Chains A and B, each alone.
Chain A
Amino acid sequence: MKNKYLHLITTTVLLCILASCRKDGGQLPSEEEQVGGGSTGKIKGLYVVNEGNMGSNKASLDYYDYATGIYKRNLFGETNPGIVLGLGDVATDVAIYGAKMYVAVNGSNLVEVMNARTAKHINTIKVPNCRYLKFYQNKVYVTSYDGYIAVADTGSLTVQTTIKVGRQPEQMAVVGTKMYVANSGGYTPSNYDRTVSVIDLNTSTVIKNIEVAINLDHIVADQYGDVYVTSRGDYYNISSKLFVIDTKTDAVKKQFDIPAGEIAINNDLAYIYSVEFNYNTGVNKTSYTLLDVKTETLLNRSFITDGTEKDIKTPYGLAIDPISEDIYLTDARDYVSSGMLYCYDKTGRKKWSVTTGDIPAHFAFLYQ
């Protein structure tokens, strides 16, 4: 019997040792890193939203402070420890309008609304399968993959109406009183959507569907009344392309046979990169291009000029500082490890880079 007790005691002791190995589940702290030299001007800082892999609930919010040059990761959890499960699952867009910041969290079926300066949670707007954000006259427009745009008041933060558009709508662009919506139809690869829906913002009705190309994605307006829309192709035989729609005629007026994954327009320059995967070849092709939107001609040169683009595995997000014309480009790498943010000056030379959360993708500039 003595042996038995000895065993029980040994086991108990062992268990207690093992049991003590569990740390208390606490809030994930933010991390700071000095990256830039610091500058002052009209822009106070830059929010970076990391999508996080689907199902991982790892969407996160980072902030780069212009004055101090400090990059801060994981801002949301620390600022809002009471929000159950944090920012959520797959953040697909961020935008600041007035004093509020909005983040579309696709897998969580909601738009997170925060104080733009403090990132403190204000409220959420429920939009199932939400994707992108756009604003017009105190209203936030949110595309939903379920085939509509939810329209919410930026004061009350409640959905007031929905506008039915094409299948799996992605980004929106506003020119005058019209909104242009890129429809992808990505849930039915055998039959992609091919249209841009045109909405009259005064009546909230679709007034036209412009036939463009399959699997549309990004859409941005220039200052000359045109919108640029990207087609992702079918990843097999139809390649990615870029189209220009004239908003006066609401017709496609030009096509560029270049792969276009993301497009950002600042003044007369369109910055374009593409990662085009082809299932036939199994090859991922990456390219960087500049385009003059005034003359509508390709400049046949990259916006990165010092050769540092070779460090980037998967370009995934792009924004241009409207004041300094600095270029911000993210690298999602292999989608399951931490991403990177690269900053280039307007001549395309790398200024700095920093580690971000998983799949850094979307930006919002915070003004003073």
Chain B
Amino acid sequence: MKLTVLFTPLKRSGHGLPFQFAVALFAAALWCYAPALAQVKKPVNSQNSDTTRTLKEVQINAKRATVPNISPTSVQVLKGGELQRLNSLSVADALRYFAGVQLKDYGGIGGLKTVNVRSLGTNHTGVFYDGVAIGNAQNGQTDLGRFSLDNLEAVELYNGQKSSLLQPARAYASASTLYLQSKQPHFSNNERTHARVSLRSGSFGLINPALLLEQKLSNTVSGSFSTEWIKANGRYKFRETNGTYDTSATRTNADIDAYRLEAGLNGTRPDSSTWTVKAYLYHSNRGLPGAIVRGRFDYAERQWDNNFFIQTSYKTAGKYYNLLINGKYANDFTRYLNPQYSNINGYLDNRYRQQEAYLSAVNLFHVVPQLDVSLATDLQYNVLKKLDADQYRFVYPERYTMLNAFSAEYHIARFKLQGTILNTLVKEQVKLYSGAANRNIFSPSLSAIWQPFKSNDLHLRGFYKHIFRMPTFNDLYYTLIGNTSLNPEYTTQYDAGITYHKLFEHQHLQKLSVESDVYYNRVKDKIVAIPTTNLFRWTMLNIGLADIRGMDLSIKTTWYGNQKLSWHTGVNYTYQNARDVTRGADSSPLQGQIPYVPKHSGSAIVGLDVSRLQLNYSFIYTGERYNAKDNIAANYVQPWYTHDVSASWLQGYHSCQLKFSGEINNLINQNYDVVIGYPMPGRSYRFTLSISY
């Protein structure tokens, strides 16, 4: 029975699973064999030692007891092997394992996935790719489902900001910041080339081949190239029931066809300064599955995206002075098509292009051993154009932003204090009607970490941050939705936390880390987006005032059994009392917990390494929520939880390392909605074969 389900989606796409893997294996065998044929360059024993080294590294990674982080702001990191082991296709999937994070997931591979950190709202999370911000001035949202984990080395989430002084002013400009770090080439002495090919396939008609090439071009310059293609019909069964009726249907119009191309150059100069250049292109063509409502299970809307950016970074390494320069140009095209729309044309076809130019310079001075100060200045220009024929009341908004961040860090042996003042100047220009008012806002933040005892196991930390987000172009100017008199949305965060990291020698328990934070957040003039009939259009609602009291708890352990056996566990728990405390005419007598924020949520991970076999189990729980402002039975949303399991086998083969993984997600086949009307997939499968050289 299970096997039938397993193979069905693939048969539908025309190929059986064995066929696809046969092709992949064949290609892999060729790849691995090629260097073996061309062994003239390298002595045999060098190759053998490479293989051994690679394998060792993987095993070490899994066990390695890393140095505890001493960030005064709370930070959560998933990297390397840990990241690859999660049953995750995209960054969005991986973020479910972070405490304090609510993922808004509209279901399936192509469905929109955005993140809400500590109930501050989606638009308060700044996303950085290799240290440079990814912007979306149009709707302020970054669809994290589009960032594949394939080429990522680390995903880091900071509440507040990263505790580095050598960072752009924009790094201080969000309430929380998410860093996506792409794989950086690292070559040992006699290596010149790294390569990895992988093929993923499984439910939803998924085909996802990927390629990574890293080449050492000279002693100081290396290049990398990464590409992948994701194609899926996106179909999955879902079930709707109220106890009396019980109906199953197939999710349609959730297909996706997307590719990513990424190329980078990294270099080191004789004075130890480093530079990088990166070009990124993402293209997608996807269906927009609408809300499942009575009588309507099918939609025809489509969306096309073309995201291009090129960014560069230069960093000096000096004893008393460091300079960091970042530059970026981004060009994003979006097309939305509703082919069945009874306006004069008979369809709705919206095409937008937004462009961003960005330049940042950071000066860091090590004044005295105890004191560092930095000044970061960012200049940014955003413009939104409408490219289709319907120009009705489109205002062509342009935004000029200047950010200045002055930071100082004072550190003595067991204490560190950081403070920042960020000044934001915003000027907007529109071609028609009137634009939003200019802004000149000062935002402070302060953080500290203290190690009370001599041993560095225990740290106490805390931060305060006051920051805002600008209303997006859509918030302000969207024809028949936007409102130019919108105010920025302000957040204030207070956080106090404790971290305990203990390493044990000669014991089965090798490492224990416990981190916990309590926090109090306040959001003023909160703008809440609630999707209407499709995902491209939103109803903007200013619910005024929100009051969030929360607690995050994370416990991780690493265990060692014997040479062939080790395991690790991780548990996260989040409590959030996130209240809508809006007063006056905008309040509702039945308001309470903010929509879609559960009081209780958490996750658990168990990973087991038995020789070359990696076994993983993960569990995600989201407690009961309400899907609208009023906390009444009609708005109640069931808790949901998923059990995911996976197994991977690692195998050396000539100079290559092979990894074969199989995953089963939502093992108990629970039917649930993260967002009401957008049913999530039931049990699904995924297989990955990757070959690294």
| Smallest CB gap from A7: residue in B | B569
Q: Cβ of B173 < 8 Å from any Cβ of A?
A: no
Q: Cβ of B682 < 8 Å from any Cβ of A?
A: no
Contact with B along A42-78 (1 / 0, CB 8 A): 0000000000011111101000000000000010010
- Is the CB–CB distance between B342 and A129 below 8 Å? yes
Stretch binding the partner chain, chosen from A103-111, A149-157, A301-309: A103-111
- Of the candidates A19, A23, A87, A337, the one whose C-beta lies within 8 Å of that of B630 is A337
Q: Cβ of B525 < 8 Å from any Cβ of A?
A: no
Chain B residues, Cβ within 8 Å of A191: 344
- Of the candidates B348, B539, B588, B634, the one whose C-beta lies within 8 Å of that of A74 is B634
Query: Among residues 1 to 44 in chain A, which have CB atoms less than 8 Å away from a CB atom of chain B?
Result: 1, 3-4, 7-8, 11, 14-15, 18-19, 21-29, 31
Contact with A along B244-277 (1 / 0, CB 8 A): 1101000000000000000000000000000000
Q: A84-B294, A85-B292 are in contact. Are A55 and B591 (CB under 8 A)?
A: no
Q: Cβ of A313 < 8 Å from any Cβ of B?
A: yes
Question: Contact size class for B?
Answer: 35 or more
Beyond A54-B533, A355-B590, 18 additional contacts (C-beta under 8 Å) are A3-B508, A8-B606, A11-B569, A14-B571, A15-B604, A19-B641, A22-B639, A25-B243, A54-B532, A57-B676, A85-B292, A89-B295, A187-B341, A187-B342, A190-B392, A191-B344, A279-B482, A335-B541
- Is the CB–CB distance between A55 and B344 below 8 Å? no
Q: Which of B245, B390, B602 has the most chain A CB within a 10 Å cutoff?
A: B245
Query: Among residues 597 to 640 in chain B, which have CB atoms less than 8 Å away from a CB atom of chain A?
Result: 602, 604, 606, 619, 621, 623-624, 627-630, 632-634, 638-640
- Is the CB–CB distance between A108 and B296 below 8 Å? yes
- Is the CB–CB distance between A146 and B342 below 8 Å? yes
Contact with A along B471-507 (1 / 0, CB 8 A): 0000000011011110000000000000000000000
Q: Cβ of A247 < 8 Å from any Cβ of B?
A: no
Q: Cβ of B25 < 8 Å from any Cβ of A?
A: no
| Smallest CB gap from A58: residue in B | B634
| Smallest CB gap from A77: residue in B | B242
- Is the CB–CB distance between A88 and B569 below 8 Å? no
Q: A1-B561, A55-B290, A57-B677 are in contact. Are A25 and B242 (CB under 8 A)?
A: yes
Give the distance in Å from the alpha carbon of A100 to the alpha carbon of B124 in the complex. 51
Give the distance in Å from the alpha carbon of A358 to the alpha carbon of B591 in the complex. 13
- Of the candidates B243, B291, B392, the one whose C-beta lies within 8 Å of that of A24 is B243
- Of the candidates A19, A53, A60, A88, the one whose C-beta lies within 8 Å of that of B539 is A53
Give the distance in Å from the alpha carbon of A282 to the alpha carbon of B392 in the complex. 18
Q: Which of A8, A85, A187 has the most chain B CB within a 10 Å cutoff?
A: A85
Chain B residues, Cβ within 8 Å of A24: 243
Chain B residues, Cβ within 8 Å of A55: 290-291, 293, 531-534, 677
Q: Cβ of A122 < 8 Å from any Cβ of B?
A: no
- Is the CB–CB distance between B245 and A82 below 8 Å? yes
Q: A108-B295, A167-B342 are in contact. Are A280 and B604 (CB under 8 A)?
A: no
Question: Contact size class for A?
Answer: 35 or more
Q: A19-B641, A23-B638, A108-B293 are in contact. Are A7 and B606 (CB under 8 A)?
A: yes
Give the distance in Å from the alpha carbon of A57 to the alpha carbon of B628 in the complex. 12
Q: Cβ of A357 < 8 Å from any Cβ of B?
A: yes
Q: Cβ of B463 < 8 Å from any Cβ of A?
A: no
Query: Among residues 315 to 360 in chain B, which have CB atoms less than 8 Å away from a CB atom of chain A?
Result: 341-345, 348
| Smallest CB gap from B534: residue in A | A55
Q: A27-B244, A57-B293 are in contact. Are A168 and B342 (CB under 8 A)?
A: yes
| Smallest CB gap from A50: residue in B | B634
Give the distance in Å from the alpha carbon of A57 to the alpha carbon of B533 in the complex. 10
Which 5 A-B pairs give the minimum distances between C-beta atoms? Answer: A88-B294, A89-B293, A108-B295, A190-B392, A187-B343
Give the distance in Å from the alpha carbon of A21 to the alpha carbon of B509 in the complex. 32
24 CB-based A-B contacts, threshold 8 Å: A3-B508, A4-B559, A15-B619, A18-B641, A19-B641, A27-B242, A53-B532, A53-B628, A54-B533, A55-B291, A55-B532, A57-B676, A58-B634, A81-B244, A108-B295, A109-B295, A110-B294, A110-B295, A189-B393, A190-B392, A235-B480, A280-B433, A334-B588, A337-B591
Contact with A along B564-598 (1 / 0, CB 8 A): 00010101000000000000011010110000000
- Is the CB–CB distance between B344 and A167 below 8 Å? yes
Q: Cβ of B218 < 8 Å from any Cβ of A?
A: no
- Is the CB–CB distance between B629 and A83 below 8 Å? no
Chain B residues, Cβ within 8 Å of A85: 240, 292-295
Chain B residues, Cβ within 8 Å of A29: 633
- Is the CB–CB distance between A81 and B243 below 8 Å? yes
- Report the minimum CB–CB distance from B386 to chain A (whole Å): 12
Give the distance in Å from the alpha carbon of A270 to the alpha carbon of B510 in the complex. 81
- Is the CB–CB distance between A86 and B392 below 8 Å? no
- Is the CB–CB distance between A88 and B632 below 8 Å? no
Give the distance in Å from the alpha carbon of A56 to the alpha carbon of B634 in the complex. 11
- Is the CB–CB distance between A82 and B344 below 8 Å? no
- Report the minimum CB–CB distance from A132 to chain B (whole Å): 16
Q: Cβ of B30 < 8 Å from any Cβ of A?
A: no
Q: Cβ of A163 < 8 Å from any Cβ of B?
A: no
Q: Cβ of B530 < 8 Å from any Cβ of A?
A: yes
- Of the candidates A14, A53, A336, the one whose C-beta lies within 8 Å of that of B604 is A14
Q: Cβ of A204 < 8 Å from any Cβ of B?
A: no
Chain A residues, Cβ within 8 Å of B433: 280
- Report the minimum CB–CB distance from A358 to chain B (whole Å): 7
Q: Cβ of B4 < 8 Å from any Cβ of A?
A: no
Contact with B along A331-362 (1 / 0, CB 8 A): 00111111000000000000000010110000
Give the distance in Å from the alpha carbon of A186 to the alpha carbon of B633 in the complex. 34
- Is the CB–CB distance between A57 and B291 below 8 Å? yes
- Report the minimum CB–CB distance from B349 to chain A (whole Å): 13
Q: Which of A24, A56, A190 has the most chain B CB within a 10 Å cutoff?
A: A56
- Is the CB–CB distance between A81 and B290 below 8 Å? no
Give the distance in Å from the alpha carbon of A107 to the alpha carbon of B676 in the complex. 15
